[in-house]
Homo-oligomer: A and B are copies of this chain.
């Protein structure tokens, strides 16, 4: 198992001024770097408290790159549909160089109707734009000269500058949520996988990961070389009660923000996003206690969290990478800072699979 941290801000101007949020996040990233966590991730969302403080994960990670030495930097995810591939590949290559080769790129399709609407991209084009964007970035980053002809973009011959440090190309992840098609395609195409547990049952996730691993093998990719990164809300404190109290408060805030963000799905429907109108109900129906009991949220003292991680390893595989989400911005930054310390001191050394 491997552990990193993931920044998913869930605060707006009424909750916490943005400069303060960034300061806290970057200090936490420095802490994670010192403690030996494998990576820091950042997301891409717009307009709402749900992620809106990070409309550009590359900008977010560049600030972290400049203040850290070893930690890897992972977009989780960046959305090719919203940026021209030459621009996106250029920024990614800059970050790979600025960080001396510490970039992993996670790509996502995006799923909020208001984001597609603002960028004037039809939801129905989501998967095609995603596929084309990932393909274009791969070519731009890995080949010396690229001539590209897709459905949405046509350019070249051009030579991307700078070339990435990692040759031929930084590792690529793709984000998958609930559609088997996404898992199957990610495996077949030889991409690493980013997912979250929140929306599915553990059994469903188990099945989806099996689909991914099988497709990876069927695609002729080196068995065992696949990587699966799962993000999880993370509330670790010296004792169970303190952790759960903090987690419950934070969960209440982040769920409300998520509900606000997905409310557009009550107005819109798309064949590309089947069942997304049900997300809100599912979020409302599931309590913090349920989610902890189902091991979809890590919350407790060191022993409790260790046991949760052991169950995850047994259920989903002991080669997982867990992206701990320690700081939505709603808690005092001392809480996630202590959580990272405790994880290093009291959880990691005792994990049976570490």
Contact = CB atoms under 8 A, between A and B. Distances in A.
What interface size band does chain A fall in?
Answer: 35 or more
A46 B22 CA distance: 29
B163 A66 contact: no
A203 interface: no
Interface in A9-47: 12-13, 18-19, 22, 26, 46-47
Contact of A62 (B47, B66, B86, B162): B66
A353 interface: no
Nearest to A100: B19
- The count of identical subunits is 2
A119 B63 contact: no
B65 A63 contact: yes
A95 B59 contact: yes
B158 A118 contact: yes
A273 interface: no
A118 B59 contact: no
Interface in A44-92: 46-49, 52-56, 58-60, 62-67, 82-84, 86-87, 90-91
Contacts of A82: 84, 86-87
A48 B158 CA distance: 9
Interface stretch (A149-157, A313-321, A338-346): A149-157
A83 to B, nearest CB: 6
A117 interface: yes
Nearest to A22: B98
A305 B59 CA distance: 37
A150 B21 CA distance: 33
A268 interface: no
A52 B162 contact: yes
A22 B120 CA distance: 35
A97 interface: yes
Contacts of A54: 94
A278 interface: no
A304 interface: no
